[in-house]
Amino acid sequence: MPRTVSPALLPLLQHHLGGPILDSAPLSGGDINDVYRLNTGRGDFVVKASRRALPHLFFAEAQGLELLRDTKNLTVPEVLAYGDAPGGWQYLLLEHLSPVAETPQLQEALGRGLAALHRAPAPGFGDTADNYFGTLPQRNPPTSSAATFFWEARLWPQLRLAAEHLSGADVENFEALRHRLPSLIPVEIPSPVHGDLWHGNLLYTAAGPALIDPAAAYSHREVDLAAMKLFGGVDDRVFDAYAEAHPPAPGWQDRVNLWNLYPLLAHVNMFGSGYLDRTRAALNVCLNL
């Protein structure tokens, strides 16, 4: 990533901000998009920028942030602007959230806030605008059940993309899993979910626990709980506070591998076969539930 924001973006960003950008510096976490902290006379802001040919990329992210913000349970950065710029750039201009040290109090607040998010009203499974998981299109059609939505809108599209990486045995095992999904997934009402809630998309800030970079939809709440287990880094205190406020269905930890088949397959499709062994291991666990 370049060390400063592209000159092609500066006029638009300064228009939105109502004044000059004094300095810019890259922020960590920009594996998919370029991310910069902008210093201005009004304070600091964040811009995400991309030249990838992904239609409506930041429009979709802005919608996801607003979906999470509407529940008013956790801090979500305010969207200031998004759009296109010369040179094929897309951009998303956001409020900057000041990070603070992680504390037990903030961990518990995250658990309670996530529980409140998952109790917010949702019209049905799916039933939001299509968006992206990383760089991969993610469809969110209205669907009759969590199991149907998980297969048709999550696993099956990733399996088609991953065909060149999968063996015949892999395909057979996923087909066997498809038939078992209705009995494996506990019946619950749909919830707003972040959709990609690994620890890198959680922030502890001066305003409280915050969520960034969503792949938001209305889905089964265990999607978010499982994602926080995928790459570690989330303290048990978060899960304990969540369970006190909104107890998950019994056995939810046994289903972590089930829900994480989606991000694992997505990682195969974005980054290659290095994620296949972990995907196959998770699938084998699921087939023995």
Measured between alpha carbons, how far is 235 from 9 in angstroms, rounded to an integer?
38
Which among 34, 196, 213, 235 is annotated as catalytic? 196
Taken in order 230, 235, 240, 246, is the CA torsion positive or negative? negative
Token digits of residue 233: 């880094």
Q: What angle do CA 166, 169, 171 make, to 5 degrees?
A: 60
Is 254 designated active site? no
229 DSSP β-pair partners? none
34 DSSP β-pair partners? 49
In whole angstroms, what separates CA 276 from the centre of its chain?
21
Contact present, 108 and 241 (Cβ < 8 Å): yes
Q: Which of 117, 122, 145 has its CA nearest to residue 225?
A: 117
| Residue 239 CB-density burial (10 A; 0-12 exposed, 13-18 middle, 19+ buried) | buried
Query: What residues contact 166, with CB distance under 8 A and at least 6 apart?
Result: 159
82 DSSP β-pair partners? 92
Query: What residues contact 285, with CB distance under 8 A and at least 6 apart?
Result: 257
93 DSSP β-pair partners? 47, 81
Query: What residues contact 48, with CB distance under 8 A and at least 6 apart?
Result: 30, 33, 34, 35, 58, 61, 91, 92, 94
State whether residue 255 is helix, strand or coil. helix
Residues with a known catalytic role = 196
